[in-house]
Amino acid sequence: MKSNQELIEAATAARENAHAPFSHFKVGAALLTTGDEIVTGCNVENASYGLTLCAERVAIFKAISENKKDFTKICVVADTDALTPPCGACRQIIWEFCGDVEVLMANLHGEGETFQMSELLPKAFDAKFLK
């Protein structure tokens, strides 16, 4: 099984590919599959701002597009002093596509902290409410 350090390194490398010409806030994500594969993503900004995609969603959508559907952990890396959690939209997507996975937040200063998704999104809305 891939280590947290390997996920952090993958997310950090993905962060370098971020397209953030407006905010200059680069974020990388690394998603771990149950098959022990890492799928990465970075944030991609758009001049309209509303069409910007966060690193977490890019990684998840990329994984889904590659027919990877079972995940155990996601790592988010940003260059901040305080660890950066997923935004609300990303929390919803993580919950729907990954379930109650571990969410590892890390920064470029070597700090990290892990939460369960259920801690970050209590009382989550998902498909069970649509029946």
Domain boundaries, the chain: 4-130
Per-residue pLDDT, 88? 97
56 is catalytic: yes
Per-residue pLDDT, 124? 94
CATH 1.20.20.10 fits 4-130, yes or no: no
Per-residue pLDDT, 10? 98
Active-site residue, selected from the candidate residues 9, 16, 37, 56: 56
Per-residue pLDDT, 42? 98
Per-residue pLDDT, 4? 97
- Report the candidate in 73, 90, 84, 78 with the shortest Cα–Cα distance to residue 31: 73
Q: Please, what are the averages of pLDDT over each run of 10 residues along the chain (131 residues)?
A: 97 98 97 98 95 97 97 98 97 98 98 98 93 84
- In angstroms, the CA 33 to CA 21 distance is 30
